[in-house]
Amino acid sequence: MAHTDLTLRERSALLVLMAESRVITNPDLKQRFGVELTKGSRKKLAQLGLIDVSEARSGKTKRKVLAYELTERGWGWAASEVATDRPGSGAGTGALYAVLNGLHRYLDREGLVLAEVFGDEVAEQAPAEPPAESGLEQRIRTAYSELSRTEGDWVRLATLRTQLPGIARQQVDDTLKRLFRERTLHLIPNENRKDLVAADRAAAIRLGGDDMHLVMVG
């Protein structure tokens, strides 16, 4: 999802939307952040599925203006972008992508995703009555033990999820990420992409810009 054909201005607009994690009007994008999207760039980003374009009211006159927000695919682009080399010349661009690369290393080290840094997605999606954290952790360990053939065996995350019925996905993900950060559980991508099926992709956890498909406890 690198989209190497994006201009620096288009990349800048996407990064602003990432950092703000909200809907931003066209005037606000230009006046506050110094980034102006032309009609062509706006259409291009929308066709790529990276932004949603809508109408909003702005200013004292409440005039209609365009507004932008990152899509799920846009967040995927951002997760990939923080790990890339700078796309152009100039000290400002170099400094920006040095910061982004540092952010990528932090995400990898802590087992976090961009939405946890810039947004409040986790808090919004938390289940109303989740099972106790310690109880869920034990259920994950028990499910892994039943699915693994030997100690240190890698188990498909999609299969592990089937052993945890009735528990909100976000609660499971939060616990898996916590155990990953505590180094008591390991998550890796399945490098054999031909082996992936739709269930694997749907069950994946995104960490540091990569989808994790396999889990190992211990």
* Annotated domain spans of the chain: 8-119, 123-217
Going edge to edge, which strands form the sheet with 24-25?
Answer: 24-25, 63-70, 51-58
Instruction: Tell me if domain 8-119 and domain 123-217 are identical in fold.
Output: yes
CATH 1.10.357 for the 123-217 domain, yes or no: no
8-119 has which fold?
Answer: Arc Repressor Mutant, subunit A (1.10.10)
DSSP string, 24-45: EEHHHHHHHH-----HHHHHHH
How many whole angstroms separate alpha carbon 143 and alpha carbon 162?
9
Residue 4, pLDDT score = 62
Which pLDDT belongs to residue 128?
41
Give pLDDT, residue 117. 77
pLDDT (0 to 100) of residue 105? 85
The whole-number mean pLDDT for each consecutive block of 10 residues of the chain, a chain of 218 residues, reads 76 93 91 93 94 83 87 84 82 88 82 68 42 75 91 90 89 90 88 86 85 89
Residue 121's pLDDT is 44
CB 130 within 8 A of CB 171: yes
- Which residue type does 182 have? E
Alpha-helical (H) ranges within the chain are 8-20, 26-33, 39-47, 72-81, 91-110, 114-118, 121-125, 133-147, 157-162, 169-181, 198-203
